[in-house]
Amino acid sequence: MTNLTIEQALLKVCPQLCLGCIECRVTVESINPALWQQVLQQVANLQAALQPEAVNALPNIAQTRSAYKTLGKDPSRYRPSAEALIRRITQGKGIYQLNNVVDALNLLSVTTGFSIGGYDADKICGAAIMGIGCPNEPYEAIGRGMLNIENLPVFRDDIGAFGTPTSDSERTGVTPQTRRFLMVIIGFNGKQGIPEAMRQAISLLSQYAGAQNVETAIVN
C-alpha cells in the first residue's frame, strides 16, 4: 500500500486531520448502469432535501471550510470538492458521469460530505505526504488547468503535488488503464465518520469496480 503520512506543519494547524485510505485493484469501466442509478437517486434526494445556502452547514463540509480558513485559503473561491459537487446538485445541475470508479467516489462524497481524493496508485512515485501548498507550486487540476494551491492541504510524492481536497491532478487521475486505485477520505474532525465511510467505499468499489486485494489504513 502507498505509504502516506501527514507533515507536522499541517497537523499543527489542523490537529484533527484524519485520512481514511483504501488501496485496491479495480477494473475501470466507462459506465455501470446500476451504480449510476444509485447516483441519480442520491442526486434526487439531495435536491429534495437541501437548498444551496444550506450546503455550507453540512458538518463535514463546514469542518473542511473551517480548515481552509485556518490555513489562509478562501473556501468560497477554492471550494472543497464535496461542497462543489453538492452545491451543483442543489442548483439543479446534476453530476457528471465519468467512470465506475470515480462515480463511486463521487457518490460516497455527496452522501457523506467528505472531500475524497482518487488516484492511480501506479502513478504515485515513492512515498506520499500531505502538507501545505507553497507559493507558485505547479499543479494541473483535472478539468481546471493550473490551480493556485498555495495554503491548500496538498498531497505530494517524489515528483511533486498530486492531490488536494479541492481538485485531484491530471498526473495521477484515474483512466481506463488504471489498475491500482488509491482513495483517500479527508476528514478534519478526527476519526468521526471515517471508518463508516471507508466501509461504504469498499462496498461500492467491490460491487461496482471488482475491487480486489483491498488494503486500508487510517492516518492521523
Give the CATH number of the domain where residue 186 resides.
3.50.40.10
The number of beta carbons lying within 10 Å of the beta carbon of residue 158 is 9
Distances (CA, A) of 26 to 4, 53, 120, 213: 20, 37, 10, 9
Say what the pLDDT of residue 49 is. Answer: 94
Say what the pLDDT of residue 100 is. Answer: 98
Say what the pLDDT of residue 188 is. Answer: 98
Say what the pLDDT of residue 136 is. Answer: 96
How many Cα atoms sit within 13 Å of 87 on the Cβ side? 12
Whose cell is 476519526? That residue is 191
Say what the pLDDT of residue 152 is. Answer: 98
- Enumerate residues 6+ apart whose C-beta is below 8 A from 119: 162, 163, 168, 172, 173, 174, 181, 182, 183, 184
Say what the pLDDT of residue 128 is. Answer: 98
Instruction: Record the pTM.
Output: 0.97
Separation of alpha carbons 163 and 156, rounded Å: 7
Say what the pLDDT of residue 95 is. Answer: 94
The H-or-E segment that residue 146 falls in is strand 145-146
Say what the pLDDT of residue 87 is. Answer: 97
Domain total of the chain? 1
146: which 3 cell numbers?
493550473
Q: Which domain holds residue 115?
A: 4-219
Separation of alpha carbons 8 and 15, rounded Å: 9
pLDDT tens for each residue of the chain, 220 residues long: 999 999 999 999 999 999 999 999 999 999 999 999 999 999 999 999 999 999 999 999 999 999 999 999 999 999 999 999 999 999 999 999 999 999 999 999 999 999 999 999 999 999 999 999 999 999 999 989 999 999 999 999 999 999 999 999 999 999 999 999 999 999 999 999 999 999 999 999 999 999 999 999 999 9
